[in-house]
Structure 1
Amino acid sequence: MDPEIVALASSAGTTIVTLMATDAWERVRDGITSLWRREHAERAEAIAAELDVTREDLLVASQTGDQAVEGELQAEWQGRIRRLLTAQPEVAEELRRLLDEFTPEAGAAPKATQHATASGHARIYQAGRDQHISER
């Protein structure tokens, strides 16, 4: 098994399931369905329906606190994507482009904004990460 295909499928499965509970879901769903439509047109609608069912399963599991479901769903989609890439390796580049749309650039610092207002004798302590305060 090509390690690059396995790594890409693993990343894709995780990203797809993670994005199911976000505002980006519709674009991800359309992108993944489009991959299947081009390579396996007869399965595209079934894949779209399976993506919707997976999203419903994820949302229900989130509401009930079943944390194991997310990992199971990721593994399920990792397998599907791996099989697609094994049968149609030319899809890999388009899949990478799709994932890049939803993955922050490597090394890009997260953006954070902090605002605080103090009055009187109040103190404000803000930190973007670790903070150690020693007052005596």
Structure 2
Amino acid sequence: MDEILSSAAMSLVGAMATDAWQQARAAVVAWWRRVRPDHADRVDAALVESRERVLAARQAGDDSGESRLVADWNSRFTMLLRDDPALADELRRLFEEEIFPLLRRGDSTRTGSREFRAEASGHGRVYQAGRDQIIHES
């Protein structure tokens, strides 16, 4: 579940500085309105504020500002799923079907920092990439 949360938070913050932002915001707010209607207006306001912070951080060249926002949204999603773990599949679907496709439409802006950790044992292999990866083995 952690990978869902971190991917959702990173993608949401990354979308904030793209042309797809209004669509991404509308999709997230509509989803939140459906699953937690009493929090939707606060989430919408937080999204607007977060976008302003992302744009300011990018203008200042402050990568740590974006990283803090990713952590903030990760925490927000974590609390939501802690209250209702059944929402994990819906959150995954929201991002896979609505948000990720918006970001794939040729927008290659960076979406914050990434940290990769992996461990392989025995004959295991680990392949990690921050973007596209093609592996040919024979």
Q: TM-score range by the shorter chain?
A: 0.5 to 0.7
Deviation readout 1:28-57 (Å, 9 max, x if unpaired)? 112221232122211101100100000000
RMSD: 1.7
Corresponding letter in the other structure for 1:37: R
Alignment check: 8 A CA contact 2:13 2:70 kept: yes
Q: Identity, % of aligned pairs?
A: 40
Deviating above 4 A after TM superposition, structure 1's stretches of 4 or more consecutive aligned residues are: none
Alignment match, 1:95: 91
Contact 2:31–2:94 (8 Å) recurs in 1: no
Q: CA deviation at 1:94?
A: 2.2
Structure-2 separation of matches of 1:93 and 1:10? 14
Distance 1:35 1:82 in 2: 16
Q: Is the 8 A contact 2:8 2:74 kept in 1?
A: yes
CA displacement 1:40-77 (0-9 Å, x = unmatched): 21110110010000000000111111121010100000
Give the TM-score of the pair, scaled to structure 1: 0.67
* Alignment check: 8 A CA contact 1:29 1:51 kept: yes
Q: Determine the structure 2 residue equivalent to 1:43.
A: 39
Q: Which residue of 1 aligns with 2:109?
A: none
Bigger radius of gyration among the two: 1
**Is structure 2 residue 8 aligned with structure 1 residue 12?**
yes
Give the partner amino acid of 2:100: T
Question: Any stretches of 5+ residues in structure 1 without a counterpart?
Answer: 105-109, 111-136
5+ long unaligned stretches in structure 2: 107-138
User: CA separation in 1, counterparts of 2:86 and 2:26?
Assistant: 19
Q: Secondary structure at the match of 1:21?
A: coil
Alignment partners' CA distance in 2, 1:63 and 1:102: 24
Q: TM-score, normalised by structure 2?
A: 0.66
Partner Cα separation in structure 1 for residue 34 and residue 90 of structure 2: 11
